């Protein structure tokens, strides 16, 4: 399951299909099982996949027009518009 989760991250449609078919809870269970089995490399790939899928879910949850502080354009003072005669100290 972790191999499929890891491979599916390369394609958003495939990733969405994986989450729909398997779910993140089952992936988390597979990560726990890999840790208990002492397979740290597989567990790490599973944790990376879980983090990626959770990130996709957060990104998908942001609706257009939502106020997301990490996605704001911030103009800075001292950046005059070219050829407008605008003072840099506006």
Reported confidence tier of residue 60, pLDDT bands at 50, 70, 90: confident
Of 2-16, 53-67, 74-88, minimum mean pLDDT range: 74-88
Determine the Cα–Cα distance for residues 19 and 25; give it in Å rounded to an integer. 9
Examine the pLDDT at 42 and tell me if it is beyond 60.
Answer: yes
Determine how many CB atoms are found less than 10 A away from the CB of residue 79.
10
Cβ atoms 18, 4 nearer than 8 A: yes
Three-class secondary structure of residue 39 per DSSP? coil
Neighbours of 43 (CB within 10 A): 19
Query: In this structure, which long-range contacts are made by residues 52-55, counting pairs with CB atoms below 8 Å and at least 24 apart in sequence?
Result: 52/9, 52/15, 53/5, 53/9, 53/15, 53/18, 53/19, 53/24, 53/27, 54/24
Provide the pLDDT for residue 46.
Answer: 95
The pLDDT score that the predictor gives to residue 24 is: 93
**Tens digit of pLDDT for each residue in 4-40?**
999 999 888 998 899 999 999 999 999 999 999 999 9
For the chain, give every domain's residue range: 2-62
pLDDT of residue 67: 58
- Can you tell me which residue has the tokens 């704001």? 72
């Amino acid at each position: 399951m972790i191999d499929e989760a890891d491979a599916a991250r390369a394609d958003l449609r495939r990733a969405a299909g994986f989450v729909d078919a398997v779910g993140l809870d089952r992936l988390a269970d597979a990560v726990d099982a890999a840790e208990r089995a002492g397979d740290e490399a597989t567990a790490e790939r599973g944790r990376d996949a879980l983090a990626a899928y959770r990130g996709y879910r957060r990104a998908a949850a942001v609706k257009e027009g939502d106020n997301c502080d990490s996605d704001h354009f911030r103009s800075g003072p001292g950046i005059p518009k070219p050829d407008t005669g605008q003072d840099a100290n506006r």
